[in-house]
Copies of this chain bind each other. A is one copy, B any other.
C-alpha cells in the first residue's frame, strides 16, 4: 500500500546517515582535529556531500514522491513526504559539481578562518571567503529558480523553512520601533544606579568545566548520549543520540563559558527530545534554526538568567569559585546579568543589544548576496554599521567582521534565526509558565523537570511534523511575533 513511500524512507535514511557522519566529522574538525588533517577532511566532507547529492538526484525520486502522495499516508508520513519533497527541490536545484566545489571551499575557508581570526587577517581570508560567497550566490540562484523566491530567501529557506525576508523586515522593523530608544533608556538608568558587584577571577578552567557539567546535568543533559568539549566557536554538533556540545573558556570571565554551555545544552535538549521513532527521517529532525535557537535561548536567557534560577545558581557559583559573597547574591547576579552595554562581540552581547548585531549581519549579508556590496568593503561597512547601530567601532577585524564562523563556512542566511529564535523563546517560555505555573519555583530549586516536560511535549517531540508557525500556534496560541519578547524585555529591564 505504501511501497513508494517505504522506498523513499530507505533512501532518505541512507542520506541521513551520510549527513550524520558529516556532523560527527565536522565536530571532530572543530573540536579536536590537528590542522594537518584539514585537506583530507575537506575531501571526506565533500565526498559525503556529493554522495548525498547523488542520492537526492536519483532519476526516479521525483516519481516516487509523486506516487507516495497517493498512498494514503498517515499524518506524520505525509509530513515526512512533504519534507522529502522540500529536500528534493533544494537538492536537485544545485548541480553535483557545484555541491562538491562548495563543500571543499567551505571546509578550506573555515580552517583558514581560524588562523585569520587569530591573526586579524581579513585580507588573507578574502580570496577564500570570496570563493565561498560566489559559490553560495550561484547555488542561491539555482534554488531561487526552483523555489520561486529571491536569492536571499532561497538561502534563508535552508535554515528556516518557509521564512521570507519580507516577514523578517517587518518583524525587525517592529523591533527597531522599540529597541533603540528603550536600550538608551535602560543604559541611562543603569548608569545612575550603583554598579552591581562583579565576581573577581581568575576562574580556573577546571572549575568552570565542572560547574558547566553540573548545570548540564541539572538541565537534563544525558552524558550517555553526548559530550562537552572545547572549540573556537561554541556549537552544538553531533546527532540526536550522540550530541556533542562545545564551549570555550576565559579565566577572567566565568559567565561566558557557563552561559555558553547552558545555551548549547538548550540546543542539545531539543535534539535529544526529537521523537526516536522517527530517527533517520526528515520529519523527525528539528524544525529549522529559528526553533532550534528558541530552545537554546529559552534555557540560557529565559530560564537561566531569571531571578528564580539565580537563587539556585548563586550559592552554587559561590561554592565553586569563592571570593566576595556579595557578588554571588542572587539579586546582585540578576543585576549583573541584566546589565546592558553595547559590545563588539555578538556571542557576548546582552539580550537587549543582541538584535542589533543580528540586524547588522542580516543587512550586510543581504547586500553581499544581492550584489549591492563588494566583499572587500565588508570591514569598512561592518565598522560603520556598528557605529550606527551600537555607537561603537571595532578596533580590528578580529573583533569585527572576522568574529563569526558562519560566512566562512557558507552559512549565509543563517543570522536572522538568532533574533527570530529570541522572539520565539520569549513566546514559548511565557506559554510554558502559563500552562505550568510551577516552572519558576522549580527553577529556583535547580529543577528543570517541569519546564523540560512541557517543552518535550509541545516543542521537541513535534520535530518537523508541522511548520514553525503551526507548532508555535499550537503551543502558544499565536504565530511568531515580537509581543512576548517585548514584554519580557520590559519586565526584566524596566524596573
| A161-180 to B contact mask, C-beta < 8 Å, 1/0 | 00000000000000000000
Question: A36 is contacted by which of B21, B25, B242 (Cβ under 8 Å)?
Answer: B242
A35 x B241 contact (CB < 8 A):
no
B239 x A40 contact (CB < 8 A):
yes
User: Does residue A384 face the partner (Cβ distance < 8 Å to B)?
Assistant: no
B17 x A43 contact (CB < 8 A):
yes
B44 x A24 contact (CB < 8 A):
yes
A21→B37 CA distance, assembly (Å):
12
A378→B249 CA distance, assembly (Å):
50
Give the residues from 225 to 276 in chain A that come closer than 8 angstroms, CB to CB, to chain B.
225-227, 238-239, 241-242
A33→B227 CA distance, assembly (Å):
8
| A11-44 to B contact mask, C-beta < 8 Å, 1/0 | 0001001101100110010001111110111011
User: Does residue A63 face the partner (Cβ distance < 8 Å to B)?
Assistant: no
User: Does residue A48 face the partner (Cβ distance < 8 Å to B)?
Assistant: yes
User: Does residue A224 face the partner (Cβ distance < 8 Å to B)?
Assistant: yes
B225 x A17 contact (CB < 8 A):
no
A21 x B34 contact (CB < 8 A):
no
CB neighbours (8 Å) of A239 from chain B are 37, 40
User: Does residue A51 face the partner (Cβ distance < 8 Å to B)?
Assistant: yes
A44→B242 CA distance, assembly (Å):
12
Copies in the complex: 2
User: Does residue A393 face the partner (Cβ distance < 8 Å to B)?
Assistant: no
CB neighbours (8 Å) of A222 from chain B are 36
User: Does residue A47 face the partner (Cβ distance < 8 Å to B)?
Assistant: yes
Question: A242 is contacted by which of B37, B226, B238 (Cβ under 8 Å)?
Answer: B37
A242→B36 CA distance, assembly (Å):
7
Give the residues from 368 to 425 in chain A that come closer than 8 angstroms, CB to CB, to chain B.
none
A239→B241 CA distance, assembly (Å):
26
A21 x B25 contact (CB < 8 A):
yes
- CB nearest neighbor in B for A35: B224
Evaluate whether A47 and B225 lie within 8 angstroms (CB atoms) in the complex, with A25-B21, A34-B242, A239-B40 already known: no
A241 x B51 contact (CB < 8 A):
no
Evaluate whether A226 and B40 lie within 8 angstroms (CB atoms) in the complex, with A18-B47, A21-B21, A28-B24 already known: no
A34→B216 CA distance, assembly (Å):
15
CB neighbours (8 Å) of A39 from chain B are 241
A14 x B242 contact (CB < 8 A):
no
A239→B34 CA distance, assembly (Å):
12
CB neighbours (8 Å) of A51 from chain B are 51
B40 x A242 contact (CB < 8 A):
yes
A33→B37 CA distance, assembly (Å):
20
Give the residues from 185 to 231 in chain A that come closer than 8 angstroms, CB to CB, to chain B.
222-227
CB neighbours (8 Å) of A28 from chain B are 24, 28
A18→B48 CA distance, assembly (Å):
8
A252→B218 CA distance, assembly (Å):
36
Question: A227 is contacted by which of B32, B48, B238, B242 (Cβ under 8 Å)?
Answer: B32
- CB nearest neighbor in B for A17: B47
Q: Can you offer 19 A-B residue contacts whose CB atoms are under 8 A?
A: A14-B47, A17-B43, A17-B47, A18-B47, A21-B21, A21-B25, A21-B44, A21-B48, A24-B28, A25-B25, A33-B242, A34-B224, A34-B226, A34-B227, A35-B224, A36-B224, A37-B238, A37-B241, A37-B242
Contacts A20-B40, A33-B242, A37-B242 known; 16 new A-B pairs at CB < 8 A:
A14-B47, A17-B44, A17-B47, A21-B25, A28-B28, A32-B227, A34-B242, A36-B222, A36-B224, A36-B225, A37-B238, A40-B241, A40-B242, A40-B279, A41-B242, A43-B280
